[in-house]
Amino acid sequence: MSYSSMAVRFFTTPSPLGKAMDAQTSQPGPGAHSHTVVRPNLSTDIPSSEVAEEYTPKKQGMTFANQDSLPKLPIPDLEDTCRKHLQALEALQTPREHEESKAAIREFLKTDGPGLQEKLKTYASSKTSYIEQFWYDSFLNFDNPVVLNLNPFFLLEDDPTPARSHQVNRAASLVISALSFVRAVRREELPPDTVRGTPLCMYQYSRLFGTARVPTDNGCVISQDPFAKHVVVLCRGQFYWFDVLDDNSDHIMSEKDIALNLQVIIDDANQTSLQDAAKGALGVLSTENRKVWSGLRDIMTKDPESNNAECLNIVDTALFALCLDDTEPTTTSQLCANMLCGSSEVIKGVQVGTCTNRWYDKLQIIVCKNGSAGINFEHTGVDGHTVLRFASDVYTDTILRFAKTINGQAPSLWATTSPDPSKRDPRSFGNVSTTPRKLEWDMTPELKIALRFAESHLSDLLYQHEFQVLDFEGYGKNFITSMGFSPDAFVQMAFQAAYYGLYGRVENTYEPAMTKVFLHGRTEAIRTVTPECADFVKTFWGENPAEQKVEALRTATKRHTAMTKECSKAQGQDRHLYALYCLWQRSFEEGLYQETNSMGGYSSPDEGAESPKLSEGSGDDLSRSPGSGSGSASGSVRGLRAGTVPTPALFADAGWDKINNTILSTSNCGNPCLRHFGFGPTSGDGFGIGYIIKDESISFCASSKHRQTARLMQALESYLFEIRKLLRATNRTAASARTNRVRETEAQAERLQHDMRRRGRVVLGDRRVSETPTATTDSGEMEDDDGMGGYGFFDAGMLLHALKGLDAEREQRGQKPSKRRFVGKKLYLNDY
């Protein structure tokens, strides 16, 4: 596969997927499919206006019908952003540190700030989104392994259909439903996402399938084959592939056909011992440092006689990867770890765990031996909400298809369905291969050594992390709302109280708020720790009355809800400041930023200090820290400018480093199709916490680099029970104490006689109950908060919409993929 020599991003238009966004797409190499490529902006001599083309969707089909009407992501007011930045720091700093940050902000607003704001407005005028290019730069320049650092996971609920508790049947069912989703996107029949009637940007769905993160010497690129029609199957670290769609994105195999293929693949893979298979499990290379992985790809493809280039192309251009794991995790924590990073099991010095059965540069559907299933996804081009819609629709479709076998009148999730492959003329399938083929890699001595080292590095990484699951059954959304709280804000304060109870301090916390109400919107960072939050945890752990603790909680959750609303309207501070920082950095690199532009500015931090990171959230969203690490281009720039050009005061302030070091990275991603979801910690001394708030329970999956993860979950559980007790005590109705006439008379007599010696101290009911807000009075707030905080807003009812899509004629593609050689050893189906 070949790429353009210029560091220019190219997009595939989502209307339809099969056409390029502009005429500058990279030319495919011989025998390769056509590709579009998203590249980071690494060159300093290319004007920023040439880096990304404006997105102009077509006006056909329902999926992208709202794109033209979506507003652009607004650039917040500079003074408002600086004020919110200080508010986010206040509870995290000492008074002296906070005064220093205030001084830095004042200096920034007097000197560099206004100029950078004007530069950003000018830059954004020709862009779809002012943050998008910087976002991609941050992710694609990230040099550390993507496993445990970038890729999140979803653990699906078990399939309620008894027959699908087996690996092959569950996997075949998921593949069929996934292909129906692909078909709906490509035909633009997927109903647009909405939040309370407001349409959301659907662009990310066009980047979900046939996509791969490909490492190069100058950062990674996102490569996509818009004509992809095959899937890759991994089993025991071995690679197989077969076609599943025709040129019109219609199915060419039934569920039984796919199940047969998967069984053949499993039987063939079992013929190779685990130890021998591990020695050729090239998926491990996708877990390496990105520059190392880039060099290894060059080694794999340098021999023109080798078929490794074609094998790589088959993997990169697949719709998605299906990983069939030869394991049955015994605990939920082990199951979550398997979906996030695979298991590690070394036998006689050879790694035979499922960590070798992955390809982390792609969307992966993972199915265990007992039918437990999950999704692991590359996070650069898509957020958790997009993959959540995919997971939800796939899970729902599997259930509806089973219902249809019982009742032929059962509804379908799709506007139109693919013709039955068994009733089609095989000649109509076109140039396809439905027989599974095994990719046979040329294992050179260099490659064998690199594979051994990569596996050792991966094993180190796995053993550095621990995972803990808490399935809290005490209560859920229903109880929380009945007490008058927003569920998401309530849980966020639970994290703060649990952490404070262990360590006696609050730490920088991140939660994503979705901004897809804007064109190409992604997320904004909610900074949970506020003065109100800090006051609550101190009040809760102090010797204070229950009423005071509950009131402090209510104040803190209201503040969190208000921040969530602001961030969902793209009025947060993190993305804005990051864009200003990147613009200053770009100006510095291009030599356009003169020393006189920063009069009296602060000097740069120590030479070699890391660049601030774009806190971004999967798993969606999940608080990521791309931009850090030895391979970060931005990190080296910080070192170069040290002692030469003064850094803008805000970015040189210690508060900037503090706010960009997330200790508690959290995300709410609720949907009935999910059992758990999670991600790795974003800092060495931090926690990654994914949670799902259900009606009567709350699921948590936490990870850390061995920072008492189990103990934190125990503290969280204890807090949740304790706060319930306090809420019940302060919310207990005192009506009976006030309406009982005998007690009223007794109380009156006590007041008249002032004789307390005989009767003792009277136990009074809570007279403040009338002041307690109810779920009804707070419902507006809760609705907004639940709608935008993390991904918990996702409308599960959308899955059951009766879709009445138009029977639009199939579009004729203007370009066809070149004819492929059917690479790999053909497996024979005669015995099945």
**Tens digits of per-residue pLDDT, 93-127?**
999 999 999 999 999 999 999 999 999 999 999 99
SS3 assignment, position 693: strand
Identify whether residues 302 and 282 lie together within a single domain: yes
- Within this chain, do residues 304 and 432 fall inside the same structural domain, yes or no? yes
Whole-number pLDDT of residue 238:
98
Query: Are 397 and 517 contained in the same domain?
Result: no
- Of 427, 583, 553, the residue nearest 491 (C-alpha): 553
pLDDT per position as a tens digit, 515-531: 999 999 999 999 999 99
Q: Are residues 110 and 127 in the same domain?
A: yes
Residue 589 and residue 630 in one domain: yes
Choose the weakest-confidence range: 38-42, 320-324, 454-458. 38-42
Same domain, 208 and 119: no
d(CA 508, CA 527): 7
In percent, the amount of the chain with pLDDT more than 70 equals 75
- Same domain? For 459 and 472 the reply is no
Shared domain for 441 and 552, answered yes or no, is no
pLDDT digits (tens, 9 = 90+) for 125-136: 999 999 999 999
CB distance 388 to 345 below 8 Å: no
List phi, psi (to 5°) of 399.
Answer: -75, -45
Assess whether 113 and 255 both reside in one domain: no
User: What pLDDT score was predicted for residue 126?
Assistant: 95
At 708 the pLDDT is 96
Phi, psi of 558 (to 5 degrees): -65, -40
22 located within any domain:
no
Pair 458, 472 in one domain: no
Catalytic residue among 379, 465, 576, 676: 379
Angle ∠(666,672,676) on CA atoms, nearest 5: 40
What's at 155, amino acid-wise?
A: L
**Is residue 757 a part of any domain in this protein?**
no
Q: Assess if residue 773 is contained within a domain.
A: no
Cβ-Cβ contacts under 8 Å for 159 (sequence gap 6 or more): 165, 170, 173, 371, 373, 398, 399
In this prediction, residues 167-178 reach a mean pLDDT of 97
- The range of the structural domain enclosing residue 332 comes to 153-464+802-826
What is the pLDDT confidence band of residue 177, given thresholds at 50, 70 and 90? very high
pLDDT value at position 448?
95
pLDDT at 631 over 90: no
Residue 10 inside a domain? The answer is no
Best CA proximity match to 371, nearest among 388, 395, 401, 348? 395
- pLDDT (tens digit per residue) in 389-407: 999 999 999 999 988 888 8
Mean model confidence pLDDT for the chain: 82
**Domain contains 29:** no
**Could you tell me which residue, 164 or 158, shows the higher pLDDT?**
158
pLDDT band at 61 (very low <50, low <70, confident <90, very high): confident
Please indicate whether residue 706 is annotated as part of the active site: no
Q: What is the CATH number of the domain that holds 698?
A: 3.30.559.10
> What CATH number did the domain enclosing 167 receive?
3.30.559.70
pLDDT tens profile 64-79: 999 999 999 999 999 9
Check: CB of residue 8 under 8 Å from CB of residue 51: yes
Would you say residue 6 lies in a domain? no
Same domain, 546 and 574: yes
Query: Which pLDDT value is given to residue 36?
Result: 58
Considering the domain architecture, whether residues 296 and 207 belong to the same structural domain is answered as yes
Half-sphere exposure of 718 (CA within 13 A, CB side): 14
pLDDT digits (tens, 9 = 90+) for 248-300: 999 999 999 999 999 999 999 999 998 899 989 999 999 999 999 999 999 99
Instruction: Read off the pLDDT of each residue in 212-216 and give the average, rounded to a whole number.
Output: 97
DSSP state of 485: -
Q: How many domains does the chain contain in total?
A: 2
pLDDT in tens, 551-560: 999 999 999 9
Specify the pairing of strand 219-224 against strand 198-199: unpaired
DSSP annotation of 597: G
Residue 510 lies in a domain: yes
List the structure tokens of 635: 């990190």
Q: So what's the pLDDT on residue 23?
A: 34
Helix, strand, coil % (nearest 5) of the chain? Answer: 40, 15, 45
Half-sphere exposure of 410 (CA within 13 A, CB side): 14
The yes-or-no verdict on residue 308 having pLDDT over 90 is yes
Mean pLDDT of 594-617: 40
How confident is residue 753, by pLDDT bands cut at 50, 70 and 90? low
Nearest C-alpha neighbor of 437 from the set 587, 273, 318: 318
How far lies 827's CA from each of 221, 422, 433, 438, 830, in Å?
Answer: 33, 21, 11, 7, 9
pLDDT of residue 3: 34
**Residue-level pLDDT at 623:** 43
Domain assignment of residue 397, yes or no: yes
